[in-house]
Amino acid sequence: MPTSWSSTLARLASFGGASRVLAAAAVLALALVAIGVAIAVHPSASDLFATPLHAEQLEEVEERLASWNVPFTPTQDNVMVDARRRNDLLLRLSLAGIPHAHLAGTDEALAAVGALTPQSVIDAQTLDGRASDIASALRDVAGVQDARVIIAPGKTGEFADESGSTATASVRLRLEPGTRLSAATVAGVRAFVAAAVAGLDPAHVTILDDRGIALGSASDGGDDSADLQGGLQSALDSAFGAGSTIVRVHAEYEPASIDRHDITRAPLLGGTIERNTSARAYRHGAETYHEATEQSTRGSQTRDVTSSVGAGALARISTAVFVDASHAADLLAIRDLAAATVGFDSRRGDTLAVQAVDFARLPPARKDAWWLLYGSIVPLLPTLACVAGALIALHFAMPPLRAAASAFLERSRIAETAKRAPEMPPAHVRTLLASEPPHAAAAVISALPAATAAAVLELYPPHERDAIVRRMHRTPPPLFPDPSELLRHG
């Protein structure tokens, strides 16, 4: 192989300027064809969204696509993706709630304010921008998918018969599936909103979740339940494995305030606090009758206790633990663990039920090696078919192409030698033609002057000279053979 390559390079180096130009043009044409094929095979890209995105929306989309390992090309206001995956990516982003709706902040809301803008319009735009700023910040809270904030500014009474109003704010939070905000988080959101609006008291901030329930109120009643349920489920998963138990916790709260008044009396020195005794005596002789009554009080201490329970206080906890039948032997341990985790108190009226049941499980989908092989080969079939077709076409095209290339190189070499031979002495021409076949030597010698051709022929042995002379009387073939002849011989 190295010898053939070296000989090929040596022949290419011996070509003249015209031959080298033709070879370079052929290589360039092949490169252009390869580039065209690569462009045709490469999947087309298109804009993912039909409308331009804002900067924060573009950042959200890029982060999510990167987390999904989806190749994309960012632009100034959009992203370029594979056109075949565009619909699928749009559906996945929509289910994930990305990108969020653009919120015009304070800077954007006041960008169009001019010197002649009324103060009422400026105040309204400032309020809208402030609400958008708060909503954008609440989107970063863990468990919050989106937020909407409405601010009602306070108003002072300008006239004696006009009453004023205090500033209020309404916050609607769209939570991620399965997320419940704790009481501390709700209090933090309320304080954050109140601090962002001048003159707003935290008590006047109403927070509504996607269930339509006001968070932090007595009707919410989900913080203790969610925390206890999550803590117990985590403990059982760690101890018995995920999927072995199902936990449900329900906390009940006092609907109204309850006042209790308890009075307790206790003796000072032990015994009873009061004692009453009576005695009767009757004698028949002389008929005597006697009755005595005695009452004594030892003193007591009185304890008066008044207690009050506000509305929304925890009344009782109901806990249910479903255990897979494979862990039926662990029911007692699971019950003790659940009672300690949720703080079970029978005096408060708490209930705890632990039951072993057969969990419904779908049989795992099993696929044999043939299905795995089928799933691996089918996506590659178009590529394999193209490669096989290209190899078959190359197999049938190689002999004609090889013959054409060989003929072209030989014609170029003969033409170059014939051009330089008239200026050389006969001995030099003979040395130059030493490795050439008879038909190539005949073509070169035929182009020489008669005297030089005769001198060169005299330098050949008789049998080689006869072969060259016989070919000198033939009509030289064309530079490029007939394609039909190449195909027939190939």
Give CA separation, 486 vs 8, 398, 439, 479, in Å: 22, 11, 19, 13
CA atoms within 13 A on the CB side of 329: 1
Return the number of other C-beta atoms located less than 10 Å from residue 373's C-beta: 10
pLDDT of residue 1: 43
Residues forming a β-bridge with 165:
155
Supply angle C-alpha 12, 17, 19, rounded to 5.
55
Residue 448 C-alpha from the chain's centroid: 78
Are the C-beta atoms of residues 64 and 93 closer than 8 Å to each other? yes
Token output for 376 = 């691996």
How many Å separate Cα 285 from the centre of its chain?
114
Give the contacts of 299 (CB within 8 A, at least 6 positions apart).
Answer: 267, 268, 269, 273
pLDDT averaged per 10 residues, the chain (length 490) = 54 57 69 67 76 87 88 87 87 86 81 79 83 87 86 73 77 80 84 87 86 68 68 85 87 72 70 72 72 71 68 79 89 90 87 88 61 64 78 76 72 68 73 76 75 78 80 58 53
- Whether this prediction's pTM lies above 0.75 is answered by no
Beta-bridge partner residues of 171: 149, 207
CA angle 7, 13, 15 (to 5 degrees): 110
Q: Is the dihedral of CA 430, 431, 434, 435 positive or negative?
A: negative
Largest CA distance in the chain: 199
pLDDT of 366 reads 60
Are 478 and 490 in contact by the 8 Å Cβ rule? The answer is: no
DSSP string, 474-485: SPPPPSS--HHH
> Quick one: tokens of 97?
């709630």
Please work out, in degrees rounded to the nearest 5, the angle formed at the alpha carbon of residue 303 by the alpha carbons of 299 and 307.
165
Task: Judge whether 317 and 228 are in contact, CB under 8 Å.
Answer: yes
In degrees rounded to 5, what are phi and psi of residue 308? -135, 135
Write down the H helix ranges in 139-222. 183-196
